[in-house]
Amino acid sequence: MNKLSVRIYNFTDKRITDLIAVKQLTLLKFVYILLLIPFVVYPAFAVEYDQIVSTSDGTLDVGIYTIPEVPNTSEPTKLKISFLKPGTDRIQEHIDYRVYVTKDQGAFVFGPIRLTHTSPGHVTIPVIFSENGLHLIHIEVEGILFSPIPLETALLTVNVGQEETSIPAWIKNNAEWWADDLIDDSSFVTGLQWLITNGIMTIPPTEQGTGSDDVIPSWIKNNAGWWADGQIDDGSFVSGLQWLISNGIMKIS
């Protein structure tokens, strides 16, 4: 074999080696991308949530809407729950969670379920409601992206058999001031009590509670701010007011 033939073979061998190396690198990149896909935070496309609340330590936001839009006792209700990256509409995948539903702070209507994993970061919970009125959706989170975290909770509300509400538009200003700490809890609650008692503002009938704790949960104040900004509807805001009434914080005569 002459020197020219040797050089040609060496050149060909090098080209083949280079092509194999490029293909191997491309394959490795492809595998790497596949491994990353489950951990990507995806957007919640065009979903309009009835409520969005933060978990107790603020690691996640939790959004909810229902099908049908107004839950009732004549058909099952689907609770559509999404776990969101805080302050965004992007879904966080791989969440370890529990869910249970109660009537006010009373008997269980659904669950509690065991600790469950959702890969896509959103779940549908079918619930059959037997009573009208305010129900509480309790969310517990104990893991994100296969890593355990200290227990965080979120509390959402659903008003079953919701009746027509009437809320003067200017009350949104008060709600915004309250959410921004420009007026205190007592002033806001007292003002709403007067409006409801005197028929200026109407909400569905709600059983008056006799709770001893006057502390207003942060989710109700958050709801007021979101309602004032047009991010949630009247029904979601009213659910918070009903919770205050049923727990004895707001007293309606």
Query: Is the pLDDT reported for residue 32 higher than 80?
Result: no
Q: Which domain holds residue 102?
A: 42-160
Query: Is the pLDDT reported for residue 19 higher than 60?
Result: no
Task: Output the pLDDT for position 63.
Answer: 93
Residues 27 and 125 in one domain: no
Residue 237 near residue 202, CB atoms below 8 Å: no
Residues 87 and 98 in one domain: yes
Which range among 4-13, 61-70, 147-156, 157-166 shows the weakest confidence by mean pLDDT? 4-13
Residues 153 and 72 in one domain: yes
List the CATH number of the domain containing 85: 2.60.40.1930
Which residue, 131, 160, 189, sits at the end of a domain? 160
Establish if 205 belongs to a structural domain.
yes
Establish if 252 belongs to a structural domain.
no
Establish if 165 belongs to a structural domain.
no
Query: Is the pLDDT reported for residue 59 higher than 80?
Result: yes
Residues 146 and 46 in one domain: yes
Task: Output the pLDDT for position 210.
Answer: 63
Residues 111 and 216 in one domain: no
Task: Output the pLDDT for position 41.
Answer: 45
Mean pLDDT of the chain: 79
Residues 60 and 131 in one domain: yes
Residues 48 and 22 in one domain: no
Establish if 92 belongs to a structural domain.
yes
Which range among 4-8, 90-94, 185-189 shows the weakest confidence by mean pLDDT? 4-8
Which range among 25-29, 86-90, 169-173 shows the weakest confidence by mean pLDDT? 25-29
Helix axes 171-179, 218-228, angle to 10 degrees: 130
Q: DSSP labels for 97-145?
A: EEEEEEETTSSEEE-PPPPEEESSSEEEEEE---S-EEEEEEEEEEEET
Which range among 28-37, 54-63, 100-109, 227-236 shows the weakest confidence by mean pLDDT? 28-37
The segment with the largest mean pLDDT, out of 54-63, 167-176, 230-239, 244-253, is: 54-63
Establish if 137 belongs to a structural domain.
yes
The amino acid at residue 32 is Y
Which residue, 119, 135, 160, sits at the end of a domain? 160
Q: Which residues lie across from 141 on neighbouring strands?
A: 97, 152
Query: Is the pLDDT reported for residue 248 higher than 90?
Result: no
Query: Is the pLDDT reported for residue 44 higher than 80?
Result: no
pLDDT top residue among 203 and 156: 156
Cα dist. 215→49, 208, 249 in Å? 26, 17, 8
Residues 22 and 34 in one domain: yes
Residues 28 and 75 in one domain: no
CA distance 211 to 246: 8
Q: Quote the number of domains for the chain.
A: 3
What would the mean pLDDT of 188-197 be, rounded to a whole number? 82
Task: Output the pLDDT for position 244.
Answer: 81
Residues 66 and 147 in one domain: yes
Query: Is the pLDDT reported for residue 243 higher than 60?
Result: yes
Which range among 119-133, 161-175, 227-241 shows the weakest confidence by mean pLDDT? 161-175
Q: With cut-offs at 50, 70 and 90, classify the pLDDT of residue 81.
A: very high
Which residue, 160, 190, 217, sits at the end of a domain? 160
Q: With cut-offs at 50, 70 and 90, classify the pLDDT of residue 34.
A: very low
Establish if 166 belongs to a structural domain.
no
Q: Is the pTM of this model over 0.75?
A: no
- Token pair recorded at residue 113: 């379920």
Residues 72 and 146 in one domain: yes
Task: Output the pLDDT for position 26.
Answer: 63
Establish if 253 belongs to a structural domain.
no
Contacts 24+ apart (CB under 8 A), 136-139: 136/101, 136/102, 136/103, 136/104, 136/105, 136/243, 137/64, 137/79, 137/81, 137/99, 137/101, 138/98, 138/99, 138/100, 138/101, 138/102, 138/112, 139/55, 139/62, 139/81, 139/97, 139/98, 139/99
Establish if 185 belongs to a structural domain.
yes
Residues 21 and 124 in one domain: no
Only one residue has tokens 């006010």, namely 104
